[in-house]
Amino acid sequence: MDNDANSTRLGPLIPEKKPRIYLLVTKLAPELDEGRLQQIIEQCGEVQAFRRGRDADGKPLSFGFAQFGDPEAAWKASTCLSKRVLCGQEIKVLVEEHAEGLIQQWRRSQQAALRVSTDEELDWELERKAVSCKASIDAKVEEIFGAPEDGSGAGAVAQRSQELREREQQRITRLKKRKAWREQEFARELERIETAEKRLRKEEVDKDDSDRDKEQVELREKERKEAPNGITVSRAEDAPGSRAKTIVPADNRKLVDMVDTVQAEPRDAIFRMELNASFLRNEQILETKLRPWLERKVDLCMGGPQSDLVEYILRRVNGCCLPDSLISELTRYLDDNADPLVERMWRMLVFELMRGGFALTESAKKREGGQHPQ
């Protein structure tokens, strides 16, 4: 009751007023009937009115006005009727400024209605609408005027469909090219970032090594000055696992000299020294010192733990591989870090051998003479 009363007081609902969109259709043939032309225009959508201009004697002029209430119908008429040949004359459709604004507003709304994200996809969807409308116009023209004598009207629909397929293929080709270009740009950017990260990582490793060596030298010098008579403090940081500060008799001061000797040896001399794998295994150097040292170094170089790579390096060292060969094998994993890693590892192992009684120069000579240290 209340709703009926409210409806009575408010009166009937006023329907939404449709816009008035006018198109000027020109270059009409004199013999083209107004009613038939309106039937053709109606294939684009609802036509509110169509009036053809006439002179003072009532003869039809070469233009007329079509009124639409739907922007889509007006768009179809402006797109699909222009350049259409009727009664031997190609007609032309002109859009006034106000109508053009309404059509463009409708076109923008279609991007959301059709759920497309790019202008190219929108053009494709609108092209499908246009092809369907042109097919309807072709059918109506053939119904009114009959098929053309040359038979061109018979395949009009098939021709429209073929054009649509060709345009779709072109669109797909453009999308593939654009996707390939984006993938190439992404790959180049990724390579640039990875290269920069590797460079920064290497710089950090080099800086850490330099700082550690400098601190070691300064600490040794300080401990030598501060140690009591007959006692010296030794640190062997190049040997992994020996981080604890120990006070040893002065006779073992030669360990410090060994570190200096190994560091002073040229790279070639260090690489020529043969590693006694049996000694390294028996003394548990590979497991207690080399393994934790490698885990830290590889973790720093690779940005995370790499247990498989550590195991591989340990097996190669245990197999008495040559350092240059190991560098070549590790380069694909560690890049520029492979060379300094192997060199520092070799110096560390040579230091351990010297601690075990293997003289550096004698071992190098035995290496050249094909003999093994006892």
pLDDT in tens, 99-141: 999 999 998 898 888 888 788 888 888 888 888 898 888 888 8
Fold category of 14-154 in CATH = Alpha-Beta Plaits (3.30.70)
At residue 68, the pLDDT reads 92
Q: Are 94 and 24 in contact (CB under 8 A)?
A: yes
DSSP for 58-117, please give it: --EEEEEEEEES-HHHHHHHHHHTTT-EETTEE-EEEE-HHHHHHHHHHHHHHHHHTT--
pLDDT in tens, 34-67: 899 999 999 999 999 999 988 888 888 989 999 9
Q: Are 69 and 50 in contact (CB under 8 A)?
A: no
Q: Which CATH superfamily is domain 227-369 in?
A: PWI domain (1.20.1390.10)
User: What is the full per-residue pLDDT of the chain (374 aa) written as tens digits?
Assistant: 455 545 444 445 555 677 889 999 999 998 988 899 999 999 999 999 999 988 888 888 989 999 998 999 999 999 999 888 888 889 999 998 889 999 999 988 988 888 887 888 888 888 888 888 988 888 888 888 887 665 555 556 566 667 767 777 777 787 788 788 888 888 888 888 888 877 887 787 777 777 777 777 777 777 676 655 444 444 444 444 444 444 444 445 677 777 888 888 888 888 888 888 888 888 888 888 899 999 998 888 887 888 888 899 999 888 888 989 899 988 888 888 889 999 999 988 888 888 888 766 544 444 444 444 43
* C-alpha–C-alpha distance, residues 285 and 283, integer Å: 5
Q: Are 116 and 125 in contact (CB under 8 A)?
A: yes
At residue 1, the pLDDT reads 47
| Within this chain, domains 14-154 and 227-369 share the same CATH topology | no
Between the alpha carbon of residue 27 and those of residues 68, 87, 94, 95, 104, the distances in Å are 20, 11, 11, 15, 25
At residue 102, the pLDDT reads 92
- DSSP H helices, the chain, are 2-10, 34-41, 71-80, 97-113, 119-145, 156-226, 254-264, 267-272, 277-282, 285, 291-302, 307-318, 323-334, 338-355, 360-369
* C-alpha–C-alpha distance, residues 292 and 295, integer Å: 5
Domain ranges of the chain: 14-154, 227-369
* C-alpha–C-alpha distance, residues 209 and 252, integer Å: 25
Phi-psi region of 83 (alpha: psi -120 to 50; beta: other; left: phi over 0): left
Report the Cα 44 to chain-centroid distance in Å: 44
* C-alpha–C-alpha distance, residues 167 and 132, integer Å: 15
